[in-house]
Structure 1
Amino acid sequence: MTATTQGGAPGWESRPYLRIATEEAYAPQEVLDEYRKILDSGDADPGFVSLMGYFLGSEHPQPRSVMEKISSLGESRLQDMDATGIDKQVLALTAPGTQVLDVATAKWAAELTNDRLAEAVAAHPDRYAALAAVGFEDSSSAIAELDRAVNTLGLKGLIANSHVKGRYLDHPDFFPILEAAADLDVPVYLHPQTLPGDVIKPWQEAGLDGAVWGFAAETGLHLLRMITSGLFDRLPNLRVVCGHLGEGLPFFMSRIDHMHAKQVASGRYEAIKPLNQRPSEYLKSHIWLTTSGMPWEPAISFTRQVVGADRVMYAMDYPYQFVAQEVADQDALPYSDGEKVDFFQGIAERVFKL
């Protein structure tokens, strides 16, 4: 297959693969308006204020540009994709998603988002695919909405914008939703959110609570909790995708395995029990990683080496990290054409059934 989309760098028009970007953000304007109401209430979680207070309140050109782009599913987004040689985006509701909304509003926001995404996919099937949102605090309606989104609307997975008001997906309340995703054979995309409650304070006072490091700390913790809780042993068909090259976990695989084994042997923590395999092996058996926000060859090559090249796929992180040079940098990765076909296209097609 030869790509036909014209990008902004020489040679893109003749590449032997499609570029499928797999962590690309969207939010309906109505959901952004709900976020503004929470901010205006004066009673919002500090992490939410850190995140959406900046993007919805700052006059700086960068956050203003992000907010202008994030609610578009039409020509402006397609033009940005063309300008950077992105053939297809896998769209999903941006952080903090439904997680900060009350139960009724979360249900409404998920349905609205899924309908809008399905309409965009129907209008541009060669350019878009999408993941479903649900309201996580009501498992029965979440399961019904996920089923509708997948089986009626044709969406390709479930977006989970990390913790739900301080609770993580290893909590028993969320098991039925994850079980439904496994039964539907669709992946769960675990996406960062800001640290919850007072936990954010030491990060925020140093200016390190967002994408610079706080997101990795929060979402790396979340993914590791899912692993060490035995969630994947109880749901062997559950598939998870995580961005930013696994939020640092690949670098710590050996240490995590070593310390987990010592904790199991000592019985130090009630939460740490024996698993069917070493914690690192779940990164090779149940979890896929994307390069969103991490367009750095040494990190990409290391991650491919330790979890397997078939576990690492391309993502841009549009519109938060929308840099044409980063696409060119990943085009220049020192891999064969066959490896690049898989990296940019094949893995995404298999994982999301595109």
Structure 2
Amino acid sequence: MQCPCCLSKTRRQLLGIMAATAGGLLVTRLVPASAGPIKRGADIPVRSVDIHAHYYPEEFLHLLGGDGKAFGGSYTRQENSFSFATPAGGLGPLPLKFIDVQARLLDMDRAGVDVQALSLSVPMVYWADRQLNARLARAWNDAASTVHRQHPLRFVVLATLPMLDVNDAIIELERTAELPGVRGVYMGTNINGLDLDDPRFAPVFARIEQLGLPVFLHPQQTVGGSRLSNYYLSNLLGNPFDTAIAASHLILGGVLDRYPQLHVSLPHAGGALPILVGRLDAGWNSRPETRRLAQKPSSYLTRFSYDTVSHSGSVLDYLIANVGIDHLVLGSDYCFDMGYEQPVRFVESVGLGPREKAAVLGGNAARILGLRG
């Protein structure tokens, strides 16, 4: 007797074979010449697009550790690593390939990743005052756009915004929308503890929707406090919980209703949201606090896309069954220790058919980011 996971995998393989047979598809995925030992079977040509890849440019780090000192920021670089700290959190020692673009390109080739969507990560830029907040965002966006200009076929940019002031955020949004390589906006799951349905952020979301840019979220300053301080639970549990909280505020707070063309992408396979959405539906049926929505919360799951950083094939099975293959996008969390060194191989290990695999590896991300073939 097969387990449910095996049955699900067999079902997807059969669907993929049927689709490939119907279309006569016997083609190979386009992989960089230096991609190394990765071997492919009969796949559909697609550029693999990693939408969850973090970048810390030195221009940004020097500003963080220089003018940021007045607000508790620091940055140190060693021979093979670097570290930084802010009141909103710090990291380190981290490998220099977070900074070194050439080392990053070698890793991408070894992993079979054709394109990375560069993004900032913890601590974002919300921890200083208004002026430095705006300067940090501008420094990161300019540096990331420069990387795109140097390697236009390998990198695109998810711009960060100075969300401490709405006017500053909109000014930077409109400026970066014209920068080469910018294909979306990156935002924390909360802004210094303020949730994303706070009315003060409404003009920012309205302008993002008008510009047709997708929003990608990432946890920062997560829930849990001291109860998650041990065992790295601030990441292991705090990150997926904070993603679920942010998405729930976007749903229950009416943000997705007010901006029907706004697309939001959730990290870590949606965190805890997909598995708990039935509980949100139950609340919608019984609690008056949730009834400002015209539809039950689960109907909004397809307003999001979900990256593949799940660490579980069965979680991807669940997403495919309940959200659909068109909403999964490749992610690596490059190059943190909780990410994937081989994100493409992880997707290939799940047993998708050719069309499904092509969609997850790059087709869905290309559609969301507006990339050409």
TM-score (norm 1): 0.86
Q: Shift of the alpha carbon at 1:231? A: 1.1
Residue 257 of structure 2 is aligned to residue 240 of structure 1: no
Task: Give yes or no for contact 2:42–2:354 (8 Å, CA) kept in 1.
Answer: no
- Aligned twin of 2:226: 201
Separation of aligned partners in 1, 2:293 and 2:347:
36
- Work out which of the residue numbers 338, 342, 345 in structure 1 matches 2:355: 338
Separation of aligned partners in 1, 2:346 and 2:29:
20
**What does the per-residue CA deviation read over 1:239-281, in whole Å, with 9 as the maximum and x for residues that have no partner?**
10111110121111222111222112xxxx4xx3321211111
Higher relative helix content:
1
Separation of aligned partners in 2, 1:118 and 1:326:
24
Residue 303 of structure 2 is aligned to residue 281 of structure 1: no
Q: Shift of the alpha carbon at 1:176? A: 0.7
RMSD between superposed Cα atoms in Å: 2.4
Higher relative strand content:
2
Task: Give yes or no for contact 1:182–1:235 (8 Å, CA) kept in 2.
Answer: yes
Separation of aligned partners in 2, 1:185 and 1:35:
30
Separation of aligned partners in 1, 2:160 and 2:343:
28
| SS state at 1:89 partner | strand
Task: Give yes or no for contact 2:88–2:123 (8 Å, CA) kept in 1.
Answer: no
What code does the residue aligned with 2:275 have?
F
- Aligned twin of 2:317: 301
What code does the residue aligned with 1:200 have?
G
| SS state at 1:156 partner | strand
Task: Give yes or no for contact 1:295–1:326 (8 Å, CA) kept in 2.
Answer: no
Residue correspondence of structure 1 range 258-269 to structure 2 within 5 A: 258-264=282-288, 269=289
- Aligned twin of 1:311: 327
| SS state at 1:202 partner | helix
What code does the residue aligned with 1:69 have?
K
- Aligned twin of 1:328: 345
- Aligned twin of 2:154: 127
Separation of aligned partners in 2, 1:101 and 1:34:
11
Residue 53 of structure 2 is aligned to residue 24 of structure 1: yes
- Work out which of the residue numbers 169, 177, 181 in structure 1 matches 2:208: 181
- Aligned twin of 1:60: none
Task: Give yes or no for contact 1:99–1:165 (8 Å, CA) kept in 2.
Answer: yes
Larger gyration radius, structure 1 or structure 2 = 2
- Aligned twin of 1:93: 120
Separation of aligned partners in 2, 1:192 and 1:171:
17
Q: Shift of the alpha carbon at 1:127? A: 0.6
- Work out which of the residue numbers 192, 204, 229 in structure 1 matches 2:219: 192
Taking a change above 3 Å as real, the CA distance of residues 136 and 235 of structure 1, as seen in their structure-2 partners, is same
- Work out which of the residue numbers 166, 169, 180 in structure 2 matches 1:139: 166
Q: Shift of the alpha carbon at 1:209? A: 4.0
What code does the residue aligned with 1:26 have?
Y
Residue correspondence of structure 1 range 164-179 to structure 2 within 5 A: 164-179=191-206
- Aligned twin of 1:69: 97
Task: Give yes or no for contact 2:64–2:136 (8 Å, CA) kept in 1.
Answer: no
Separation of aligned partners in 2, 1:41 and 1:106:
11
Separation of aligned partners in 1, 2:116 and 2:212:
20
Q: Which moved more, 1:309-318 or 1:208-217?
A: 208-217
TM-score (norm 2): 0.81
Q: Shift of the alpha carbon at 1:2? A: 3.2
- Aligned twin of 1:59: none
What code does the residue aligned with 2:176 have?
A
Q: Which moved more, 1:326-335 or 1:94-103?
A: 326-335
Separation of aligned partners in 1, 2:149 and 2:73:
39
What code does the residue aligned with 1:163 have?
N
Separation of aligned partners in 1, 2:192 and 2:149:
33
Aligned residue pairs, count: 330
Q: Shift of the alpha carbon at 1:195? A: 2.1
Taking a change above 3 Å as real, the CA distance of residues 48 and 257 of structure 1, as seen in their structure-2 partners, is farther
Task: Give yes or no for contact 2:217–2:267 (8 Å, CA) kept in 1.
Answer: yes
Task: Give yes or no for contact 1:4–1:14 (8 Å, CA) kept in 2.
Answer: no
What code does the residue aligned with 1:262 have?
S
- Aligned twin of 2:20: none
Residue 35 of structure 2 is aligned to residue 7 of structure 1: yes
Structure 1 gaps of 5+ residues are 57-62
What code does the residue aligned with 1:288 have?
S
Q: Shift of the alpha carbon at 1:33? A: 4.2
Taking a change above 3 Å as real, the CA distance of residues 27 and 13 of structure 1, as seen in their structure-2 partners, is farther
- Work out which of the residue numbers 95, 102, 108 in structure 1 matches 2:129: 102
**What does the per-residue CA deviation read over 1:157-190, in whole Å, with 9 as the maximum and x for residues that have no partner?**
1100221111111101111111111110111111
Task: Give yes or no for contact 1:200–1:209 (8 Å, CA) kept in 2.
Answer: no
Separation of aligned partners in 2, 1:202 and 1:295:
23
